[in-house]
Structure 1
Amino acid sequence: MHHIMIICPEDSPLKEADRWLSRYGFQVNLCYTLEQAKKYYELADFDLLLIDQAILALFTDNMSALEGTPPRLVLDARPSLNSGIDAMAMGAKYYLPLPTDSEHLLKHVIDALENTTPASKAKQTAEPEAIPPLLFARSEKEQEADNLGALDSGIIGNCEPMRELFSDIRKVASTDVTVLIRGESGTGKELVAKALHNLSTRHNNPLISVNCAAIPENLIESELFGHEKGAFTGAVSARDGLIYAADNGTLFLDEIGELPLEAQARLLRVLQEGEIRRVGAIQSTKVNVRLVTATHRDLIDMVRKGYFREDLYYRLYVMELLLPPLRERSDDISMIAKFLLEKACKKHNRVPLDYNKEFDKAIRAHNWPGNVRELENAIERAVILSPPHRIEAANLKLITHLSGSKTQQTTTKTSEQLTPLEGTTLDDYFKHFVLTHQHKMTETQLAQSLGISRKSLWERRQKLGIPKKVTNNK
């Protein structure tokens, strides 16, 4: 596998090349300054550098700044003849304008790698097995499919439930069927969606990811479907929606259970007719998208309660992929934790810390209600708080189980008292839901979960006499 280093400012269009080249099987690292790249990496170990001219412009002596580095491509957002001549004179293989498209860039990357310097060729001769030949088209996807579960694949796992999941991903990815990914929060549903896209025939086209819970209810239809100029207050110009942006690619709708009923009806039309209509528009536009959705909620239960359209549910439920929670992946927990420990050490510029037995025991003993996301945060916390040369389990700062405490007993008792019985009214359910969830959800989240506005939530509180959560200021 060829290793490529990209060095560019954070706002540079070259940053997108990280995603493009990774899809084609290259191992890519990204740094925002030349100093950062030299501090954390041995640039001589890379096969190719892609450098934004804005980085080189910071150095008066560019030749010495790049001394001892591998072949490089220089890309410039303000290309000029003089800059191009200077770049080529200082050893650049190519001087290209920014922005550039993926195919144009890939062509020059391949050419630069195949026409290496004598030193690079000597390295290849000495280590013939270290750099396999470039693999393209279907062979690349086959390689990525075989790599699912490995440390560099994005989705780590080797337990039986995960092996079954990887098998299903390989089978489903090559098709265009709609996929529903189910799993608890923090299990990695978006990673599964990315794997499906990267292994599909659409991998050269966009993957558009949308968190339905993060978009305000009054804007979600405009965000997804676009709008015409003057369609509503503030619509000063026409705008394409995110579904149109995913044309010929994949649309990933995370937290699909949070989608309002009106937007659900519009989405159903996209699935049935393959077309979208902007808010305020008369005519529809054809789109060709592969839909992947995810949720941690029970959609069938939401259908029963009228919060989710039954016809949309059956349109989404063509193929279902189940992500097991971390607590059911005991064989994987240590492997994931070791990987995250190494990642956290690099992120915070710490010397590598040994993964010791005490640390592993503490990790395995925890129930991980937040799954892999919670594990990553806990390990990062431990790396920051631990002494320089030893990782300490106490610094994970895991929330202690409170099963025997007065707080937990009170919570359990309250939950039992509020459990709705068969035949309760909608007002009873509303009151039960708010009292049960308001300690861990904001008013906006409560309103979204109930499918109503914040104003309606406030009015129903007044009508039913539901007290707001009390903040303890002691």
Structure 2
Amino acid sequence: MKPTPIVIHVVEDDAFYGSLLAHHLSLNPDHLVKKFTSAKTFLAALHEKPDIVTLDYSLPDGTGDYLLSQVKELSPESKVIFISGQNDIKIAIDLLRRGVHDYIVKDNDTKERLWISIEHLRETIELKKELDTLKKEVVKKYDFQKVIIGNSEPIRQMFHWIDKASKTNITVSITGETGTGKELVAKSIHFNSQRKKEQFIAVNVAAIPRDLLESELFGHEKGAFTGAAGRRIGKFEEAHKGTLFLDEIGEMDLSLQAKLLRVLQEKEITRVGSNQVVPIDVRIIVATHKNLLHEVKNGRFREDLYYRLLGLPIQVPPLRDRNNDIILIARFFIDQFCRENSLPDKNLSVEAKKKLMLYNFPGNIRELKSVVELACVMCDEMEIQPEHINIISASYNVNTMNGENTTLRDFTTKLIQHYLDLYQYDILKVAEKLDIGKSTIYRMIKNNELVVQKVEN
């Protein structure tokens, strides 16, 4: 891909000297250079927001100080390089303190020095442009009506609340069963809000040990506790100006809930081991699969924190309530899996669709993804049939196990063994697919609970 040109405006009242500089910079094909001989014509074109401006410090119709102030006001991202006939150290230092990139005195080496100065700026400018492009792509990616697949009434209602949440900074509480896509809803809110260009930081409260969660959220100072070798910035500071997503908030310890409440009320944090108060500006989105009001009544969640976090509640519907969305989502996962694994396109037969529609998917979207990916592997033809949709082996529907003398341990072992066989004993991939620790699998192998065969190359 051809790099985006670096736009340079050369401002020099000496027409010959300005043409000389412009020609020299144009020798790089990635430079788009425009020449101006007056402050008036330059300012009239400043709406083009050049990447770099080279300014003659003493123009007949505009001083260097005035032009610098205009650039900062009208095109603050533009980098400024002054070129002056005055070798005045005091002026140079003052301009550099005000954010000017370089101050070059006119002499025989001016062209070369200017070239080097611009080359130093190139990498920074190109990286910023690349970052801006990526941010735009991320925002486009999270157009929620395209990313969240479905057209059922529960999903259309959810879209309505996502749209409402995106237009303000109100706290959002997302509820829904495991595997319904609560984090995707949180990202959709963030990337369609005014904070979309800032950080989206996700923390799974249930995945972090209680004694480490405070440091994870609020940070710590060097020596705050054993193992604190240096200062660490917490997730609240990391998400400053952006969004902090606290998943499984219902798992937070009561003592930490009190500290979280104070942070939300005061909009400031204190790192562990410090007395320094750090102001924060963070939008909070929380999610849980639990009934928090029930947790409040049972003394496991603070009532005051519950009402502080409730904000705008959004319920993510379970897959079994989404009717034909099941087929739309299955189609998406099939296309994705075939594309990522260089498989020919596959379709669902009418009977296969019926089988999917009749199942209640207790694992929701995460389970559907697992089921159809396995179907793609099992199907050697272009059309997926009911026998390829092995719901029992992929998800172990509890209803099909009635009457079987199966323990939870046996259930877990069979499920892990199935995935080990499916993914050719790739332990890391199985751990990722089942969302379990790889150490669990290694321990079960060591105890001869699982069988791992060597795969021939």
Shorter-normalised TM-score: what interval? 0.5 to 0.7
The CA deviation string for residues 126-160 of structure 1, in whole angstroms up to 9 with x for no partner, is: xxxxxxxxxx89xx97x889x533xxx22111111
Q: What is the CA–CA distance in structure 2 between the aligned matches of 1:362 and 1:219, rounded to whole Å?
A: 45
Distance apart, 1:262 and its partner CA: 2.1
Distance apart, 1:165 and its partner CA: 0.8
In structure 1, which of residues 402, 408, 431 is the aligned counterpart of residue 399 of structure 2? Answer: 402
The 5-angstrom pairing of residues 151-190 of structure 1 reads 153-190=146-183
Q: What is the CA–CA distance in structure 1 between the aligned matches of 2:175 and 2:126, rounded to whole Å?
A: 37
Indicate whether 1:194 and 2:190 are aligned. Answer: no
The 5-angstrom pairing of residues 372-391 of structure 1 reads 372-391=365-384
Q: Secondary structure at the match of 1:209?
A: strand
Aligned alpha-carbon RMSD (Å): 3.4
In structure 1, which of residues 305, 310, 329 is the aligned counterpart of residue 322 of structure 2? Answer: 329
Q: What is the CA–CA distance in structure 2 between the aligned matches of 1:199 and 1:171, rounded to whole Å?
A: 10
Structure 1: state its 5+ residue gaps. Answer: 7-94, 111-135, 412-440, 443-470
Q: Secondary structure at the match of 2:210?
A: coil
* Paired residues of 1:351 and 1:388 also in contact (CA < 8 A): no
The CA deviation string for residues 253-276 of structure 1, in whole angstroms up to 9 with x for no partner, is: 111111112221121112100001
Distance apart, 1:393 and its partner CA: 2.7
* Paired residues of 2:326 and 2:357 also in contact (CA < 8 A): yes
In structure 2, which of residues 125, 130, 134 is the aligned counterpart of residue 105 of structure 1? Answer: 130
The CA deviation string for residues 47-93 of structure 1, in whole angstroms up to 9 with x for no partner, is: xxxxxxxxxxxxxxxxxxxxxxxxxxxxxxxxxxxxxxxxxxxxxxx
Q: What is the CA–CA distance in structure 2 between the aligned matches of 1:160 and 1:282, rounded to whole Å?
A: 51
Q: Secondary structure at the match of 1:327?
A: helix
Q: Which amino acid aligns with 2:241?
A: N
Q: Which amino acid aligns with 1:255?
A: E
Q: Which amino acid aligns with 1:279?
A: V
Distance apart, 1:382 and its partner CA: 1.1
Change in Cα spacing, 1:266 to 1:401, as seen in structure 2 (3 Å) is: closer
* Paired residues of 1:144 and 1:199 also in contact (CA < 8 A): no
Which residue of the partner structure matches residue 339 of structure 1?
A: 332
Q: What is the CA–CA distance in structure 2 between the aligned matches of 1:225 and 1:306, rounded to whole Å?
A: 25
Which residue of the partner structure matches residue 350 of structure 1?
A: 343
In structure 1, which of residues 369, 376, 386 is the aligned counterpart of residue 362 of structure 2? Answer: 369
In structure 2, which of residues 251, 254, 257 is the aligned counterpart of residue 261 of structure 1? Answer: 254
Distance apart, 1:100 and its partner CA: 6.6
Q: Secondary structure at the match of 2:147?
A: coil
* Paired residues of 2:240 and 2:280 also in contact (CA < 8 A): yes
Structure 2: state its 5+ residue gaps. Answer: 4-120, 409-434, 437-447, 451-457
Which residue of the partner structure matches residue 55 of structure 2?
A: none
The CA deviation string for residues 421-449 of structure 1, in whole angstroms up to 9 with x for no partner, is: xxxxxxxxxxxxxxxxxxxx99xxxxxxx
The CA deviation string for residues 216-237 of structure 1, in whole angstroms up to 9 with x for no partner, is: 1111111111011111100011
Greater gyration radius: 2
Distance apart, 1:381 and its partner CA: 1.1
Q: What is the CA–CA distance in structure 1 between the aligned matches of 2:290 and 2:399, rounded to whole Å?
A: 25
Distance apart, 1:104 and its partner CA: 3.0
338-347 vs 240-249, which deviates more?
338-347
Q: What is the CA–CA distance in structure 2 between the aligned matches of 1:379 and 1:210, rounded to whole Å?
A: 29
* Paired residues of 1:327 and 1:367 also in contact (CA < 8 A): yes
Change in Cα spacing, 1:96 to 1:331, as seen in structure 2 (3 Å) is: farther
Which residue of the partner structure matches residue 312 of structure 1?
A: 305
Q: What is the CA–CA distance in structure 2 between the aligned matches of 1:377 and 1:96, rounded to whole Å?
A: 46
The 5-angstrom pairing of residues 222-237 of structure 1 reads 222-237=215-230
In structure 2, which of residues 275, 279, 290 is the aligned counterpart of residue 286 of structure 1? Answer: 279
TM norm structure 2: 0.58
Q: Secondary structure at the match of 1:330?
A: coil
